[in-house]
Amino acid sequence: MKLHAQSLLALLAAASLASSVAAAETKAAPKADLAKGQAIATQVCSACHTADGSRGLPANPILQGQHADYLYKQLVEFKGGKRENAVMLGMATPLSDADMKNVAAFYASKPTPAGAAKSKDLVALGEKIYRGGIAERAVPACAGCHSPSGAGIPAQYPRLSGQHADYTELQLKGFRDGVRKNNAVMTGVAAKLNDREIKAVADYIAGLH
């Protein structure tokens, strides 16, 4: 009887501890500080991405309106070397975890930019690949992960709508050629696309909204 009582007390204690741990884990994470994020964007990121992440050089991504979770993930992977880029390694290395979350939230708070496709000759091909894939080569439709409007799925799949076509083309070629290695799904998809198809889908994406 005494042993049974001790066992019961032990179970109650364990349950209480588990409840406390669960409560601590489900406690709301602190909100990102947009003012601090803006300061980092201005002081660290603006040379390549402009102060608000809007339309800088076509070779650099538009960050304005991008998902905070996705931006944070990329910064972590630049800092850790999973995504290789010498410039971004230098920019991300001094940033703390809070810094990365703050600047990601700042860019995400901005309105999504509008873009436009430029190549009339390729827009039909780009739309076909984005919306329907290429069945004979088992290329899935881009819309399946990035949504028909290009809104994406945080944190794994970025918002693509309005993105610079030059930047999207560069990233697709990077995945295909093994230069960018931080997404196995995209590596597999891009490996099946030729240069013309990559250019077409990148240009079509620029005009999504």
Neighbouring C-beta atoms of residue 72, cutoff 10 Å? 21
In a domain, 10, yes or no: no
Q: Mark whether 100 and 131 lie in a shared domain.
A: no
Domain extent for 176: 123-206
In a domain, 48, yes or no: yes
- For residues 62 and 90, give the distance between their C-alpha atoms in angstroms, rounded to a whole number: 19
Q: Mark whether 104 and 59 lie in a shared domain.
A: yes
Residue 50 carries which side chain, given as an amino acid letter? Answer: T
For the chain, the domain total comes to: 2
Question: Could you report the per-residue pLDDT of 44-64, keeping only the tens digit for each?
Answer: 999 999 888 887 889 999 999
Pick from 85, 108, 131: which residue ends a domain?
108
In a domain, 81, yes or no: yes
Q: Mark whether 102 and 129 lie in a shared domain.
A: no
Can you give the CATH number for the domain in which 51 is found? 1.10.760.10
Q: Mark whether 152 and 183 lie in a shared domain.
A: yes
- Residue 134 φ/ψ, nearest 5 degrees: -130, 100
Question: Could you report the per-residue pLDDT of 134-148, keeping only the tens digit for each?
Answer: 999 999 999 999 999
Q: Is pLDDT at 178 greater than 60 in this prediction?
A: yes
Question: Could you report the per-residue pLDDT of 81-122, keeping only the tens digit for each?
Answer: 999 999 999 999 999 999 999 999 999 999 988 888 888 889
Strand partners, 153: 157
In a domain, 8, yes or no: no
In a domain, 4, yes or no: no
Q: Residue 29: which pLDDT band, with cuts at 50, 70 and 90?
A: low
Question: Could you report the per-residue pLDDT of 113-128, keeping only the tens digit for each?
Answer: 888 888 888 999 999 9
Supply the pTM of this predicted model.
Answer: 0.83
In a domain, 1, yes or no: no
In a domain, 15, yes or no: no
Q: Mark whether 201 and 133 lie in a shared domain.
A: yes
Q: Mark whether 129 and 200 lie in a shared domain.
A: yes
In a domain, 23, yes or no: no
